[in-house]
Chains A and B, each alone.
Chain A
Amino acid sequence: MQLYLPIAELSVNALALLGLGGIVGVLSGMFGVGGGFIITPLLFFMGIPPAVAVATGANLVVASSVSGVLAQLKRKAVDFRMGMTLMLGGLIGSGIGIWVFAWLTTLGQIDLFVQLSYVLFLGVVGAMMFKESLGALLRARKPGGPIRRSHVHYSVHKLPFKMKFRASGLYISVIPPMMAGAAVGFLSAIMGVGGGFIMVPVMIYLLGMPTKVVVGTSLLQIIFVSAFTTVMHAVSSQTVDMVLALLLIIGGVIGAQIGSKIGLMLRAEQLRILLALMVLAVCLRIGLGLLLTPDELYSIAPGRLP
């Protein structure tokens, strides 16, 4: 069933898009990630213009995060104060990101920058997650290993503007959460991802938040940042494709439920290792694209050189 996308201005197979949304939904249900880091590159491979893929990806992340945060709210696993602090930084980062995105588009280097960001972040996060979950898996087999302390004091705890985050049981400066929020907001605008795969490790390892509130709080701030990104992209470059987003969302919503069923059958360490391997695979695929000689050296873009 072919469907014409009004903003991307091309005709695509609707079932393929539903399937794509479904696959990403399964992954997001299994691992609790937004799935933006997979959907945006897949849309590139399908021939959707990068600008449309990134902006529509942000819109899709809003839907999956809302669905996720509602589940977490029932468990009271959301730190609103932390979420708002992260969001404030996120909006600043997202604003800068959209500006950089427009600037790099006119230079013709946006594809390279997006791909490099993917390789760098997916590579680092994937490798860290793989190492950590492999360690956890081995520790689980061999009981009696060292136990992590819940409160480790790093240098970030010495900064000014301290604030109480009751739900997280933290009393820390607002600067690190704002900075983390800004970094994720920037990535959300450039890469069309929610940034959960970066936010979660930052919250656990850098801010020292308890794991139970991390997923809900990260999703809360992702909703606001990706919502802001969607509206900004819609206003500044008119690249949000509603029809494309809706198809992916429908597929994603159904897939997420199937995914969460599969997720229940696997152990946490196994899940994390699988996610890490997948992140690394996407990273490798994009990285090879940069290193190997491309089939086509020439590309056409509308408009004049600035």
Chain B
Amino acid sequence: MIRALLCLFAMAIPLQAQEPVSPTGETIVAGLSQNLVSITTNFTGSEILIYGAIKREQPIPNDSDLEVIATIQGPSGPLTVRRKERRFGVWMNVDAVTISRAPSFYAIASSAPLAQALSETDNLRYQVTIPRAIRAIGTAAEAADAPVFLESLIRLRTESHDYVLDESSVKLLESTLFRADVALPANLTEGEYRVRLFITRNGVVIDKHEESITVNKDGLERWIYNLAHEHSLLYGLLALFLAVTAGWGASAAFGLLRR
């Protein structure tokens, strides 16, 4: 019996790395206020509402607190972080470190301070916190103080509100209903935004849920962007045509005014 259980447990471990097994039988049911964000000419950012409930067949366990963590992650890509130094009297970029993957946008909201809501082990496993969401491998070879570059990346992106850590902003009612409001800034990059929800007890993830938001340029923005990238020669000529017409038009219009 014990052996059979151990066997089952051993089989459960590789599974657990992918999907958490809820020991309390609690699972997430969740939705988003919108799955599509359109960037149009008057786009000034967007508010995403993540809402949901905890589904359970048993009474609420009261030996530990249930916490909810929500993350939104923008498209990732490689980055170069540069540092200025004084050379020959002027400040110029000297050292640089390549970050292999960093999200263009990352927001975390949680129902309690993260140190309390999430254990370091599960943070490593699910890559929840901002430093964990950035993959910086092999940076030590590029500069002696590579971690400083990573810290600066996080600091700069936090200052520009591209990386947001909003602890205790998830509203959780009766350990069952929750909602999180996340603001997407105006300078969004296009692509798939991954939304992840975790529920934890004692810092251990007991269930997770994923959704995605598509961010697209729309209307005139879409048209201009596509033209610039797919028919760049035509776009350049069109830009010229506009400039020449505007210049000629201005001269003609004011010529008429003067008469």
Contacts and interface: CB of A to CB of B under 8 A. Distances in A.
**A and B found bound together:** yes
Interface of A: 2-4, 6-7, 9-11, 59-60, 62-68, 70-71, 108-109, 111-112, 116, 227, 230-235, 238, 240, 242-243, 245-246, 249-250, 253, 256-257, 290-291, 293-294, 296-305
6 contacts: A7-B225, A66-B243, A70-B251, A235-B236, A293-B86, A303-B79
B95 to A, nearest CB: 10
Contacts of B140: none
B187 A9 contact: yes
A253 B246 contact: yes
B251 A301 contact: no
B84 A4 contact: no
Interface in B199-233: 217, 220-221, 224-225, 228-229, 232-233
Given A234-B236, A243-B41, 4 more contacts: A7-B224, A68-B247, A235-B233, A253-B249
Interface string B235-254: 11111101110111111101
A240 B228 contact: yes
Nearest 3 CB-CB pairings of A with B:
A66-B247, A234-B236, A11-B186
Contacts of A299: 81-82, 84, 93, 156
Contacts of A3: 41-42
Contacts of A63: 242-244, 246-247, 250
Contacts of B220: 6
B187 A66 contact: no
B98 A304 contact: yes
A245 B243 contact: yes
B124 interface: no
A202 to B, nearest CB: 24
Contact of B82 (A59, A62, A68, A301): A301
Nearest to B257: A257
B217 A6 contact: yes
- Among A230, A235, A303, chain B packs the most CB atoms within 10 A around the CB of A235
Given A242-B239, A300-B81, A10 B186 contact: yes
B25 to A, nearest CB: 44
B156 A227 contact: no
Nearest to B252: A70
A288 B43 CA distance: 36
B90 to A, nearest CB: 4
B191 interface: no
Contacts of A59: 239-240, 243
Contact of A256 (B81, B142, B250): B250
Contacts of A112: 90, 92-93
B84 A297 contact: yes
Q: Is the interface of A mostly helix, strand, loop or mixed?
A: helix
B149 interface: yes
B89 interface: yes
A301 B80 contact: yes
B136 to A, nearest CB: 13
B44 A296 contact: no
Interface string B126-162: 0000000000000000100000010011011100000
B35 interface: no
B240 to A, nearest CB: 5
Nearest to B254: A257
B243 to A, nearest CB: 4
A286 to B, nearest CB: 11
Given A2-B44, A256-B250, A300 B239 contact: no
Contact of B93 (A109, A233, A246, A257): A109
B246 A249 contact: yes
Contacts of A302: 77-80
Contacts of B247: 62-68, 70, 249, 253
Given A4-B40, A63-B244, A231 B236 contact: yes
Nearest to B84: A297
A31 B240 CA distance: 24
A11 B44 contact: yes
Max chain A Cβ within 10 angstroms of own Cβ: one of B90, B149, B238, B246: B246
Contact of B186 (A2, A296, A305): A2
Interface in B92-132: 92-93, 96, 98
Contacts of B77: 302-303
B56 interface: no
Given A66-B248, A298-B156, A242 B187 contact: no
A300 B91 CA distance: 16
Contacts of B83: 297-298
A149 B229 CA distance: 54
A4 B248 contact: no
A88 to B, nearest CB: 19
Given A235-B236, A290-B91, A298 B149 contact: yes
A298 B91 CA distance: 12
